[in-house]
């Protein structure tokens, strides 16, 4: 009987990419605390801190991953420290848990670390397999599915929260239109966040 052997994955830490981790972490911390500071600005800041023209792609991916992880953890910290949620998931958690205390913060932080560890292992185990099959994905159908799915989520959560559906749909269509403008005029989407800076600062002050 022939036994099939599988390649062994070696994990090596490239110290050149630690700068990307550090940059993403700093940007995520700022993203979690500063009003009017969105993911687009955070990614730009993370890229500038990470630098490294020789490893531009690797540093970009590393910094963005660190940014998203750091943003999630610091968003939970803002609920505990200042009682203000700074991300969508943090807002939902603050509604489910009215008195967010230190025990909740430790629990969610530990859960986040466990989830990151599991995703790291899954990425190593099935990453190569997914890369080989992604080329066969019909992105046109995938895009349409995501549009329908997100629209369904918007309507569903609006009804569950008893929100005015006509206002939600108006805001939804307006946000889609604003998101398409940068592609047509050739500017960065990060400029769209500028409209929130003054109102956000006025509210938090």
* CA–CA–CA angle 21, 25, 10 (5° rounding): 30
How confident is the model over 18-55, as pLDDT tens digits? 777 777 777 777 776 666 666 667 777 777 766 655 45
Residue 184 has pLDDT above 70, yes or no: yes
Least confident interval from 52-56, 148-152, 153-157, 181-185:
52-56
SS3 call for 14: coil
Residue 1 has pLDDT above 50, yes or no: no
Higher pLDDT, 163 or 156: 156
Locate the domains of the chain by residue range.
16-134, 137-205
CB 5 within 8 A of CB 32: no
Name every residue whose Cβ is closer than 8 Å to that of residue 165 and which is 6 or more positions away in sequence.
Answer: 155, 158, 159
Residue 56 has pLDDT above 80, yes or no: no
pLDDT of residue 19: 73
How confident is the model over 75-89, as pLDDT tens digits? 777 777 776 666 666
* CA–CA–CA angle 155, 157, 162 (5° rounding): 95
Question: Residue 174 carries which DSSP code?
Answer: H
Higher pLDDT, 164 or 72: 164
How confident is the model over 102-151, as pLDDT tens digits? 888 888 888 888 888 888 888 887 877 887 777 788 888 989 999 999 99
pLDDT of residue 156: 93
Kind and range of the H or E element at 83? none
pLDDT band, residue 170 (cuts 50/70/90): very high
CB 67 within 8 A of CB 28: yes
């Amino acid at each position: 009987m022939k036994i099939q052997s599988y390649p062994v994955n070696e994990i090596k830490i490239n110290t050149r990419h630690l700068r990307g981790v550090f940059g993403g972490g700093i940007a995520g911390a700022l993203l979690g605390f500063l009003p009017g500071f969105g993911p687009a600005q955070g990614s730009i800041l993370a890229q500038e801190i990470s630098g490294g023209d020789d490893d531009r792609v690797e540093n970009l991916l590393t910094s963005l991953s660190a940014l998203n992880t750091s943003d999630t953890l610091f968003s939970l910290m803002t609920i505990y420290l200042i009682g203000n949620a700074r991300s969508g998931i943090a807002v939902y958690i603050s509604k489910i848990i009215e008195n967010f205390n230190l025990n909740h913060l430790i629990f969610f932080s530990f859960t986040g670390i466990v989830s990151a560890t599991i995703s790291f292992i899954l990425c190593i185990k099935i990453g190569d397999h997914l890369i080989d099959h992604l080329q066969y994905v019909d992105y046109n159908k995938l895009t349409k599915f995501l549009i329908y799915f997100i629209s369904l989520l918007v309507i569903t959560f609006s009804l569950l929260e008893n929100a005015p559906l006509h206002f939600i749909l108006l805001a939804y269509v307006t946000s889609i239109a604003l998101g398409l403008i940068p592609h047509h005029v050739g500017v960065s989407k990060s400029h769209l966040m500028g409209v929130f800076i003054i109102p956000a600062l006025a509210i938090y002050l």
